Homo-oligomer: A and B are copies of this chain.
Amino acid sequence: MIQVAQASQLTLYDVEISGTMGFSTATLLISCPDQQGLVAKIASFIYTNGGNIIHADQHRDEAAGLFLSRIEWQLEGFALPPSQIETAFSAIAQPLGASWQLRFSETMPRIAIWVSRQNHCLLDLLWRHQAGELLCKIPLIISNHPDLEAIADQFGIDYHHLPTRKNTRQAHEAKQLALLQKYKIDLVVLAKYMQILSPDFVRQFSQVINIHHSFLPAFVGANPYHRAYERGVKIIGATAHYVTSDLDAGPIIEQDVVQISHRDQVSDLIRKGKDLERMVLARAVRLHLQNRILVYGNRTVVFA
């Protein structure tokens, strides 16, 4: 059982790369119509309750008249227990007309990774999880192919093979949703899952991150590397985004690119693209897990 062995061996490194600060925190992600006194009101709420702010960042979208902010504070010494913060903060948030989420570092999000036949994004996420880069639990892998079950076994993760068949989409998605519910999944990561989710599915489960193998909005849809080669581009990219009912058009989280030349064949684009895909997807998932992303309209604010 390699993962156990490594966990103990890497204790030394874990501390360095854990991404935690060794103490419990609460994180508030909030957006509301822009108005005077927002920072003062929120910061005062935390201060008067004895909280120490360790990260505060804000953004104003002037065109939208919107204020967006991320505030993280230490829970040690905070006057309110976690279970009461939500109610207490409501008194402040409601008059502001705010949308907001409250997250606690103690609560580990539960992730399901969905794959088809390619293993590079899956392996990369599992390695990073093992190395302490992704603070979450990964109890479930779903695939429309049986190919990657051995990897799931190796990491001790349940693998559910749900083959896709014609005219059974609704039943298929019902099974998927049942699994997400059974495993109490907070976030689905499509790690090269080569099927399209229905608008209906997305309505029922909206926390889904996808990696698209192109520099969106170029080459929306299928076979982007072949089409990039045919167009003769000199750079290819990859895009991690939240999934919406409109294919490949959801809010973009992260993008990156790599240079190519006339010497690169489609197979080289695929090879280089694989490295891009796993890097970009991993960064997006990490940002999400750190509660650094606020979505509004079709845009993201990334408090990095």
| A interface residues with partner B (beta carbon < 8 Å) | 1-2, 5-6, 9-10, 12-13, 16-19, 21, 36-41, 43-44, 46-48, 50-60, 62, 117-120, 123, 127, 131, 133, 147, 150-151, 154, 215-219, 231-235, 237, 251-257, 261-263, 265-267, 270-271, 274-275, 279, 298-302, 304
Contacts and interface: CB of A to CB of B under 8 A. Distances in A.
B16 A267 contact: yes
B43 A54 contact: no
A39 B50 contact: no
Given A58-B56, A127-B123, A252 B231 contact: yes
Contact of A40 (B13, B17, B40, B54): B40
Given A6-B150, A235-B257, A47 B58 contact: no
Given A9-B147, A234-B252, A60 B51 contact: no
Q: How many copies does the complex hold?
A: 4
10 closest cross-chain pairs (CB), A and B: A40-B47, A232-B299, A40-B43, A218-B218, A39-B43, A37-B47, A2-B150, A262-B301, A16-B267, A9-B147
B56 A39 contact: yes
Nearest to A131: B120
With most chain B CB atoms within 10 A of its CB, the pick from A36, A40, A118 is A40
10 contacts: A2-B150, A13-B117, A16-B270, A17-B271, A215-B235, A232-B251, A232-B299, A232-B300, A234-B255, A257-B257
Given A232-B252, A252-B232, A13 B118 contact: yes
